[in-house]
């Protein structure tokens, strides 16, 4: 029996850069990022969508990249942890994670940060309980949850200060 390998065109914007290739239809977004583009900040944890280590933004929405086929999101804008710092400056969420000591081993941190950025855009930031609930899809085996919530609250406070300053 002969095995025929099929390739499907894939076109994406990854961290603002165009990407185009013919891929086997079974390649997940996670494997494309890590194995073909060497964007290894996105971590492979459980590979079943349960831990959140592979969280990236697709068209501004958080997704678990291990669960989505790269060819299933044509022309999507994908943002990874490598794509959120600008002009040599960390994203405010990255800086907040450092300032709040919101990680220990760091393995889950990229997915936590990407999920936290989406959480802010979604508006689920009204209480620690709400933050905890909407971050529950991202697991931390080291138990740095209080620091993670503190980091998110720091960014929320910074945004409120910036908005108050703009209104003045």
CATH 3.10.20.30 residue ranges for the chain: 8-83
Give the per-residue pLDDT at 100. 97
Tell me: the pLDDT tens digits for 125-168? Answer: 999 999 999 999 999 999 999 999 999 999 999 998 888 887 76
Give the per-residue pLDDT at 5. 75
Give the per-residue pLDDT at 135. 97
Give the per-residue pLDDT at 91. 97
pLDDT band at residue 12 using 50, 70 and 90 as cut-offs? very high
**Token pair of 49 as six digits:** 């969508």
Give the per-residue pLDDT at 164. 84
CATH 1.10.150.120 residue ranges for the chain: 92-167
Strands (E), 40-95: 55-58, 61-64, 77-79
Domain at 8-83: CATH code: 3.10.20.30
Tell me: the pLDDT tens digits for 61-116? Answer: 999 999 999 999 999 999 999 999 999 999 999 999 999 999 999 999 999 999 99
Give the per-residue pLDDT at 4. 65
**pLDDT of 1 strictly over 70:** no
Contact 59, 36 (CB under 8 A): no
Mean pLDDT of 31-42: 98
CATH architecture of the domain with range 92-167: Orthogonal Bundle (1.10)
């Amino acid at each position: 029996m002969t095995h025929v390998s099929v390739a499907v065109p894939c076109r994406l914007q990854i961290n603002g850069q165009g990407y185009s290739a013919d891929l086997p239809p079974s390649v997940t977004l996670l494997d494309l990022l890590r194995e073909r583009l060497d964007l290894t900040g996105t971590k492979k944890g459980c590979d079943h969508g349960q831990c959140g280590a592979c969280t990236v933004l697709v068209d501004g929405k958080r997704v678990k990249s291990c669960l989505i086929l790269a060819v299933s999101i044509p022309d999507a804008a994908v943002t990874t942890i490598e794509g959120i710092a600008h002009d040599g400056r960390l994203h405010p969420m990255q800086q907040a994670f450092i300032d709040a000591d919101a990680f220990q081993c760091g393995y889950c941190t990229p997915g936590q940060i990407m999920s936290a950025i989406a959480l802010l855009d979604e508006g689920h930031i009204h209480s620690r309980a709400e933050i905890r609930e909407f971050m529950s899809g991202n697991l931390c085996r080291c138990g740095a949850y209080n620091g993670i919530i503190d980091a998110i609250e720091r960014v929320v406070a910074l945004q409120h200060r910036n908005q108050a300053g703009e209104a003045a």
